[in-house]
Amino acid sequence: MSQEVRVVHGREPEGRTDPITGSEVIISAARSMREGKRDPHYVYRVGELPSHKADCFFCPGNEEGTPKELVIFPQDHPGDRSPWMTRGFTNLYPILALEANGHGNPNPSENLALGINEVIVETPRHDAFFSALSTQEISRAFEAVILRYFSLRGDDRLEWFSVFKNFGRAAGASMEHSHMQIAVKGRIPQKFRDRYLRAQSYFWDKKACIYCDEIKRHRELGQIVFETHYFVVLVPHAAIVPYHLRIFPKAHNPSFAHVLRDSVAMRDDFAAVLRKTIFLFKLAVQGENSENLSDPMYNFYVETSPYREDHKDGNFHWRLEFVGRTTVEAGYEKHTGEYVNPTYPGEVAAQLREIEAAYRHSEFRSVRAA
């Protein structure tokens, strides 16, 4: 007997386009009804990894296994096992290099591989994961990122700064030990150019910031998850995966490095907001078992204005993009360049708000995974 196509009335597939990125997304709630194997939503179980690993170059005592540090912050507490809290150095296996050449490119002046690739180790603990770090540890890690931003800003060969994090091997992390990466390119990537031009065109047409207007629109849509004095966290209306979130500063500014350097209070708040965002994602997909598991797999990156446009009057509005990895990109997505999201973003925002409210009232154990 043939099966009926599973399309629920009122929940038919819906196409959406992200005004900020131009990403095309199909919201197809019927996809969540498919039977099939789902990857476990964690990278390792708590206690599975040691706090220190003798052969990990990111662990204290093994510093000779990495290039010389470019930035290092000592421990604030004397007597701690590690002499440092945060450490940064050039990636031993870099994506980009200043020695790169453009041979083979039709336009040799457009050297795609020219740049710098660095690592920021956020914690000396081998078994740490981001939501288990303190706000202070995360804030100091971003302080290290900001120091590197300004150290490299004066190099005329460099145009575009990126900081990103992969957590979990399937999310792109090749090392167990928690870390972020910095990539600074001599050429602005085409994808970012397109986004930057979108912001410019919107300003010319509307005489307004597309990002500020998107925050207002998401308030009207009910897709704000939570907010603080400085930041707002939302689920984009055209989210590319179920747990796609954006962290926006409320005040317009093109450059994350300038504002987080100039205000320790804002940097600490940013650290707390990022930690809480990851923690809510963790609770959403792991439920009551979350205390026994590491964070699930995810990627995040900060999107900020290029060096030459990072003055305070620019039209760009920096943000952090968080992408929780609970789905797999398959043939349709790779072939068309479109994303398929099996959940309605508004429902995810409501779920995360519920978890956040329960967490604030110490009742989050009763909130089950969606």
Q: What is the pLDDT of residue 281?
A: 97
CA distance 237 to 229: 23
158 in the same domain as 89:
yes
Q: Which residue did the predictor score with more confidence, 278 or 102?
A: 278
170 in the same domain as 213:
no
Average pLDDT, the chain: 89
Question: Could you tell me if 208 and 188 are in contact, meaning their C-beta atoms sit under 8 angstroms apart?
Answer: no
334 in the same domain as 214:
yes
Nearest one of 42, 47, 53 to 125, comparing CA atoms: 53
State which residues form the domain around 247. 14-44+209-366
Q: What is the pLDDT of residue 7?
A: 57
Per-residue pLDDT band for 217 (boundaries 50, 70, 90) equals very high
CATH of residue 151 = 3.30.428.10
Q: How many domains does the chain have?
A: 2
Per-residue pLDDT band for 169 (boundaries 50, 70, 90) equals confident
Q: What is the pLDDT of residue 30?
A: 67
361 has pLDDT over 70: no
Q: What is the pLDDT of residue 367?
A: 40
Among 72-81, 232-241, 280-289, 329-338, the minimum mean pLDDT is found in 72-81
286 in the same domain as 151:
no
Q: Which residue did the predictor score with more confidence, 212 or 288?
A: 212
33 has pLDDT over 50: no
349 in the same domain as 263:
yes
Q: What sign results for the dihedral spanned by CA atoms 214, 198, 22, 295?
A: negative
| HEC secondary structure over the chain | CCCCCCCCCCCCCEEEECCCCCCEEEECHHHHHCCCCCCCCCCCECCCCCCCCCCCCCCCCCHHHCCCEEEEEECCCCCCCCCEEEEEEECCCCCCECCCCCCCCCCCCCCCCEEEEEEEECCCCCCCCHHHCCHHHHHHHHHHHHHHHHHHHCCCCCCEEEEEEEECHHHCCCCCCCEEEEEEECCCCHHHHHHHHHHHHHHHHHCCCHHHHHHHHHHHHCCEEEECCCEEEECCCCCCCCCEEEEEECCCCCCHHHHHHHCHHHHHHHHHHHHHHHHHHHHHHHHHHHHHECCCCEEEEEECCCHHHCCCCCCCCCEEEEEECCCCCCHHHHHHCCEEECCCHHHHHHHHHHHHHHHHCCCHHHCCCC
Q: What is the pLDDT of residue 230?
A: 98
188 has pLDDT over 80: yes
219 in the same domain as 145:
no
Q: Is residue 199 part of a domain?
A: no
Task: List 59's β-bridge partners, or say none.
Answer: none
CA distance 158 to 170: 30
Question: Could you tell me if 92 and 117 are in contact, meaning their C-beta atoms sit under 8 angstroms apart?
Answer: no
Percent of the chain having pLDDT more than 70?
Answer: 88
Per-residue pLDDT band for 261 (boundaries 50, 70, 90) equals very high
Among 33-37, 69-73, 163-167, 188-192, the minimum mean pLDDT is found in 33-37
Q: What is the pLDDT of residue 166?
A: 95
Q: Is residue 83 part of a domain?
A: yes
pLDDT tens per residue, range 108-140: 556 889 999 999 999 999 999 999 999 999 999
214 in the same domain as 361:
yes
CA distance 39 to 328: 9
Q: What is the pLDDT of residue 148?
A: 98
39 has pLDDT over 50: yes
Nearest one of 252, 279, 278, 256 to 267, comparing CA atoms: 256
